[in-house]
Amino acid sequence: MSSRDYGVNRFFVRPRVTLLALVLASITLVTVSYKSNGGGISATFQKSLKSITDPIRSTANSVFHPIEDVVSGAFNYSSLKRQNAVLQDQISALRNKESTANRLQSEVQALTSLANIPFAQGLKSISAIVDGYSPSNTQMTMNLDRGSSAGVKVGEPVVAALGLIGRVVSVTHSNSTVLLISDPSSSVGVTLGSSNQVGLAIGIGSYNSIRVELVDPGTPLYVGEPVYTSGLQGGIFPPNLPVGNVAKYSSNLGSLQEQVTITPMVDLAHLQFVKVLDWLPGGGA
């Protein structure tokens, strides 16, 4: 074996030495390239090295940036939670203010309407607030926050802005109870507008419907026709108080009276403010 062959074999049987030599050569080239202007073989090597390291750097960024975001988000979560709680409190406060403003506006409108009722002119009245209703339809009453100390008397009619509600049936020093016209024990003498036909409006235990009896068969009627208190001699209500509107009517062959149902003029189930009229049955005050 020649000395040349022996040298080549020794080089390939020592791969670690070979690898170390290549690495040292690479470092030397990199060093030279930084000291030069980037030309020649050193520039070529830099390009090759960059082509290897750029994908590695890009992969590292894609892995570590989301982790950084998660860690940052974890630290900021408590702050965001506190800010959200503050915002929710502010929203709740604004909604409460809006609700209060709407309620007050509604009350002002109701009081204004009550102060300017077009009926019962010339009669003195006492304003009152509704404290509550009876618990069942078998006794349809409501309580007021005014009593004998304010001048309220048993038998006096009670009205809302649109019409008749009922009459006072009991009084204490500071409260009173009103029997609604929808109560089954309530009866109101009425006149049906266009025909001047008289009848008797009787409660049936419904806030939305009242039956009218003693109307002559064949009486000309129409849906929506207004119905008022008749105020006949000895009546328990003054005349011309709005009671309701005709909802339906019919006449059976051979019937002694027209079947008439009216809808109360007032929403009896949702009242806030009312007036007690200074008027007693028989026309007394």
Cα gap 282→119, rounded to integer Å: 19
Task: Work out whether the CA dihedral 187, 193, 196, 197 comes out positive or negative.
Answer: negative
Residue 165 Cα distances to 2, 7, 83, 242, 277, angstroms: 132, 124, 52, 10, 11
Average pLDDT on 21-39 reads 51
- DSSP string across 70-115: HHHHHHHHHHHHHHHHHHHHHHHHHHHHHHHHHHHHHHHHHHHHHH
Average pLDDT on 85-111 reads 75
Pairing, β 125-133 against β 164-171:
unpaired
pLDDT tens profile 195-247 = 889 999 999 999 999 999 999 988 899 999 999 999 886 788 999 999 999 99
pLDDT band at 43 (very low <50, low <70, confident <90, very high): low
Residue 149: both structure tokens together: 């100390």
Cα gap 265→71, rounded to integer Å: 67
pLDDT band at 80 (very low <50, low <70, confident <90, very high): confident
Q: Which domains does the chain have, with CATH numbers?
A: 3-59 (no CATH), 123-285 (2.40.10.340)
Cα gap 120→53, rounded to integer Å: 98
User: Residue 271: is its pLDDT beyond 90?
Assistant: yes
Q: Which of 115-129, 145-159, 267-281 has the lowest mean pLDDT?
A: 115-129
- CA geometry: angle at 203 spanning 198 and 205, to 5°? 165
